[in-house]
Structure 1
């Protein structure tokens, strides 16, 4: 609900979801700023290191 309100206030037409927010955090905020993939994995509570490697490919 909060993401939908933020999108409306900002004029964003794309549907914002928690999954999209997590993905953006993993790619834009952490990995692109040099945070080690192991740390990103822990922050996102991934049990398998392969999961955040999908983000790293972007």
Structure 2
């Protein structure tokens, strides 16, 4: 099990769902929808915001990893957050980001 530091706002969101019966029943910290449902939400948001790029959960994970690197998050931590078993799986994000702090 990993310990990941959270901002206060993120902690409040987790606390809000800590007593949610659906989350407790599924053993999840947050309500989780399928990738298909999440991708349709992302498409809807892209249309509302006039974003021409196809947004997907894969794109969101990739963006998170690149931004986290640029803000100085250690590669090992990003690997844990993304659920990668080896840091080498995450290392390609460092090559994509020229502002990454390694």
TM-score, scaled relative to structure 2? 0.54
Deviations 1:20-51 (A, max 9, x none): 100000001x1000000000000000011111
Q: How many residues align?
A: 57
Partner of 2:81: 43
Larger radius of gyration: 2
User: Could you list the runs of 5+ residues in structure 2 that have no partner in the other structure?
Assistant: 1-39, 97-102
Moved over 2 A (4+): none
TM-score, scaled relative to structure 1? 0.93
Which of structures 1 and 2 has the larger relative contact order (alpha carbons within 8 angstroms, sep 6+)? 1
Q: Let me know the Cα RMSD of the aligned residues.
A: 0.6
Offset of residue 16 of structure 1: 0.6
Distance 2:53 2:71 in 1: 25
User: Could you list the runs of 5+ residues in structure 1 that have no partner in the other structure?
Assistant: none
